[in-house]
C-alpha cells in the first residue's frame, strides 16, 4: 500500500507542476478574461486519461503501477476533471444513462454550490 501511495504521489507531483506551468503559459499566451489556461489543461487532461485507459485496455502494455502513476497520480494532479470525464465515459459505455445524468448534473450543480457557499462563508465570517 505504501508503494502505491508513493507512486500516486510522485505522479501527482509531476502532474501538479505540469498543470501550473501549462496553465500559466497558456493564460499568458492568450491574454483574455476567459480562463484559457485552465480550459486547455482540463481538455488536455481528458485526452491524456482517455489515451492512458485506452492503452491499458489493450492488454499488458501498462503495468498497474504505471497506470496508477499516470492516471491517479499525473492526471489527478494535472486535473481532476479528467477523472470525472473518464468516469462519465465509463457510465455511458456501460449504458448507465441515468447515473451518467445524475453524476454529471449533481457534480456540476453541487460543485458550483459548494464553491459559492464556501466562498460566501469566508467572505462573511472570516
> What average pLDDT does the segment 26-34 reach?
89
pLDDT at 119: 84
> Whole-prediction pTM value?
0.78
Burial class for 40, CB neighbours closer than 10 Å (0-12, 13-18, 19+): middle
Q: Which residues contact 45 (CB under 8 A, 6 or more apart)?
A: 75, 78, 79, 81, 82
Chain segment 48-67, per-residue pLDDT in tens = 999 998 888 887 889 999 99
Model pLDDT, residue 2:
96
Domain ranges of the chain: 2-78
Amino acid at each position: 500500500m505504501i508503494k502505491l501511495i508513493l507512486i500516486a504521489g510522485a505522479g501527482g507531483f509531476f502532474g501538479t507542476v505540469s498543470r501550473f506551468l501549462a496553465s500559466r503559459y497558456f493564460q499568458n499566451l492568450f491574454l483574455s478574461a476567459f480562463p484559457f489556461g485552465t480550459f486547455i489543461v482540463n481538455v488536455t487532461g481528458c485526452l491524456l486519461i482517455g489515451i492512458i485507459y485506452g492503452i491499458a485496455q489493450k492488454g499488458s502494455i501498462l503495468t498497474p503501477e504505471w497506470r496508477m502513476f499516470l492516471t491517479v497520480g499525473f492526471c489527478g494532479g494535472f486535473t481532476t476533471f479528467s477523472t470525472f470525464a473518464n468516469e462519465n465515459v465509463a457510465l455511458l459505455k456501460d449504458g448507465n444513462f441515468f447515473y451518467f445524468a445524475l453524476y454529471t448534473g449533481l457534480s456540476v450543480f453541487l460543485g458550483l454550490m459548494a464553491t459559492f457557499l464556501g466562498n460566501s462563508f469566508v467572505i462573511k465570517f472570516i
